[in-house]
Amino acid sequence: MAQYPIELILTRQLATQLAMPVFLVDQDGTMVFYNEAAEAVLGRRFEETGAMPAAEWAASFAPRDEAGQPLPPDVLPLMIALRQRRPTHDALCIRGLDGVDRRIEATAFPVISVTGRLAGAIAIFWESACA
């Protein structure tokens, strides 16, 4: 990750140590990492997927609201955190890359340097029971 801002590199380092699923995007919304805990929820190892532009990962995980309606990328917690530079939380349904539908709750927040530069955003998420 040498080409990324130091804040994103350090956030990735932190994510590798966490037991909770973590998903990390750069300032353009490109998925640059998800940790081992996230692999079980997302249905594939990060080493198998690699980085993905926002449109690609959003389409791959087929996010839907709890009524089953497709969600465009701009209303996903991670993209709200990135574009609006604020924390957000929501429940949604996704289809893992293994084809399994899951309901998750995601809390996302921007990764901002001490100088105020946006480095990316991070989502911490978990599977939750159906409402």
- Residue-wise pLDDT for 55-95, tens only, equals 999 999 999 998 999 999 999 999 999 999 999 999 999 99
Domain-located, residue 109: yes
Total domains, the chain: 1
Element (H, E) at 122: strand 118-127
Domain-located, residue 40: yes
Q: How far apart are CA 26 and CA 24, in angstroms?
A: 7
CATH number at residue 94: 3.30.450.20
- Residue-wise pLDDT for 2-37, tens only, equals 488 999 999 999 999 999 999 999 999 999 999 999
Domain-located, residue 97: yes
Domain-located, residue 1: no
Domain-located, residue 98: yes
Residue 92 structural domain: 6-127
Under DSSP, the state recorded for 45 is -
Task: Give this prediction's pTM.
Answer: 0.91
Domain-located, residue 120: yes
